Amino acid sequence: GAVVSQHPSWVICKSGTSVKIECRSLDFQATTMFWYRQFPKQSLMLMATSNEGSKATYEQGVEKDKFLINHASLTLSTLTVTSAHPEDSSFYICSARGRGMSYNEQFFGPGTRLTVL
Amino acid sequence: GENVEQHPSTLSVQEGDSAVIKCTYSDSASNYFPWYKQELGKRPQLIIDIRSNVGEKKDQRIAVTLNKTAKHFSLHITETQPEDSAVYFCAANGGRGADGLTFGKGTHLIIQP
């Protein structure tokens, strides 16, 4: 149990276009979802936290107008990278925490590799 | 906000020996400290975690210790095996209500056969 999926697993796009990444909890209701970014050979950095039905909370330095997060249901959160540029190329990983689960534990998706040309 | 320091950045040990990775955190409100193993291009995999009301936790060859006073926690792997080779990350939740994690910079563990 506690499976989180992401789609797509990788995407290549041209500079200036927008890319949407989906994060789904497959067998539990995700009351909270987190979005992280990981540059090559670096650590994971928390970008934002989203609770179902409310606006996302962004970490300092993360542009909310560039990284649009929607958590419209208890099983789906989306991250849209708007007007993507090469410096946005990274590994984007979501995680989710569910209702009734161990309070702290969060389950990670497999990640989405974004390459902006 | 929370700041997590992790050392060493690279650790090479002989197969069968023990490996220790250390982390410090800054936010005294942090109460959850997970450790993750990540292989190249894969998702982080939780290997063990500890909460602030416990000083030590063990799961077979893996153990974690926590010193709240000094704000540091450590990962201990005994009888290391080649499949233990990976990047290991420590993290802390900074006591935030939503529990978003702050990660250390990672340790590349290399097990020499």
Point out the least confidently predicted range of A79-93, B50-64, B91-105. B91-105
What's the pLDDT score for residue B53? 85
Q: Is residue B95 scored above 90 in pLDDT? A: no
What's the pLDDT score for residue B96? 64
Q: Give the largest Cα separation in chain B, rounded.
A: 44
What's the pLDDT score for residue B97? 61
CA-to-CA distance for A101 and A106, rounded, in angstroms? 9
Q: Is residue B79 scored above 80 in pLDDT? A: yes
**Tokens at A40, concatenated:** 């090559």
Using CA atoms, how far residue A7 sits from B23, B46, B68, in Å, is 33, 22, 39
Mean pLDDT in runs of 10 for chain A (117 residues)? 93 97 93 94 94 87 94 92 97 90 84 97
3-state SS class at B17: coil
Closest alpha carbon to A25 in A92, A102, A111, A108: A108
User: Which of A93, A97, A111 is the closest to B99 by Cβ?
Assistant: A97
**Tokens at B9, concatenated:** 């950045």
Mean pLDDT of the B60-75 span: 97
Mark out chain B residues that contact chain A at CB-CB < 8 A: 1, 31-32, 34, 41-46, 49, 51, 89, 93, 98-106
Mean pLDDT of the B8-27 span: 97
- Residue A38: φ, ψ to 5°: -135, 115
Using CA atoms, how far residue A63 sits from A54, A80, B60, in Å, is 18, 12, 43
Beta-sheet strand order (sheet of B62-67): B4-7, B19-25, B72-77, B62-67, B56-59
